[in-house]
Amino acid sequence: MYNFLLPDAYVNSVYEITPERLHELGIQGIITDLDNTLVEWDRADATEEIIAWFAQLQDAGIHVIIVSNNNEERVKHFATPLGIPYIHRAKKPLGSAYYAGLLKLRLRRDKVAMVGDQLLTDIFGGKRQKLYTFLVRPVAESDGVVTLFNRFIERRIFNDLKRKGITTWEEK
């Protein structure tokens, strides 16, 4: 029942997604969410740690694109100084932004991972596109208004998974 909502891997932060781990999986590119995946939803700029993580990936030949449901001003302000391509107003989990991301990365689906903090947008959309998916523990405890509804649904799903004996990072 939850096949499209179960990520391939749970991580506490993007820093657990190393170039070595990606290479072991045959991953050459990442489509990543922005808000509460890379930085807090209300933080405008990248942290030094995120800048270093992107540099690590780039040095290892891993290509990255940011795909966000947020507006262009928000995503452009974050991505442009880092030289990272982006897609704004992505309408995740719909497939068009993922497809556009694959085209910009110039990689096949089996060579790309989706990294995000939400089951209903990032993971669901990534799984529908047959991407490897990483569910990241949200960076911030708080969320924007739109995301609050998704979090409510996620809590119900996590509780149901727990009752079924399926482990998530909620239990780690």
- Write the DSSP assignment of 21-67 as a string of letters: HHHHHT--EEEE--BTTTB-TT--S--HHHHHHHHHHHHTT-EEEEE
The CATH number that applies at residue 62 is 3.40.50.1000
Amino acid at 38: L
> Which residue would you say has higher pLDDT here, 156 or 111?
111
Q: Which residues contact 95 (CB under 8 A, 6 or more apart)?
A: 125, 128, 129
pLDDT more than 70, % of the chain: 92
Question: Residue 24 falls within a domain, yes or no?
Answer: yes
User: How many folded domains does the chain comprise?
Assistant: 1
Task: Note the pLDDT of residue 57.
Answer: 98
Whole-number average pLDDT of the chain: 90
| H-run or E-run covering 114 | strand 112-116
pLDDT at residue 1 is higher than 60: no
Provide φ and ψ at 16, rounded to 5°. Answer: -80, -10
pLDDT tens readout for residues 84-125:
999 999 999 998 999 999 999 999 999 999 999 998 899 999
Q: What band does 74 get if pLDDT is binned at 50, 70 and 90?
A: very high
Q: Which residues contact 146 (CB under 8 A, 6 or more apart)?
A: 69
Domain limits at 47? 9-171
Average pLDDT on 134-163 reads: 76
Question: Residue 69 falls within a domain, yes or no?
Answer: yes
Q: What band does 143 get if pLDDT is binned at 50, 70 and 90?
A: low
What is the distance between the alpha carbons of residues 49 and 52, in angstroms, rounded to a whole number?
Answer: 5
3-state SS, residue 13: coil
Average pLDDT on 142-165 reads: 73
Question: Residue 139 falls within a domain, yes or no?
Answer: yes
Task: Note the pLDDT of residue 83.
Answer: 97
Question: Residue 120 falls within a domain, yes or no?
Answer: yes
What is the distance between the alpha carbons of residues 75 and 86, in angstroms, rounded to a whole number?
Answer: 7
Q: What band does 161 get if pLDDT is binned at 50, 70 and 90?
A: confident
What is the distance between the alpha carbons of residues 168 and 158, in angstroms, rounded to a whole number?
Answer: 8
pLDDT at residue 171 is higher than 60: no
Question: Residue 123 falls within a domain, yes or no?
Answer: yes
Q: Which residues contact 114 (CB under 8 A, 6 or more apart)?
A: 30, 31, 32, 98, 122, 123, 125, 126, 129, 131, 132, 133, 134
Q: What band does 164 get if pLDDT is binned at 50, 70 and 90?
A: confident
Cα angle 77-80-82, degrees, rounded to a multiple of 5: 115
Q: What band does 172 get if pLDDT is binned at 50, 70 and 90?
A: very low
Question: Residue 1 falls within a domain, yes or no?
Answer: no
pLDDT at residue 144 is higher than 80: no
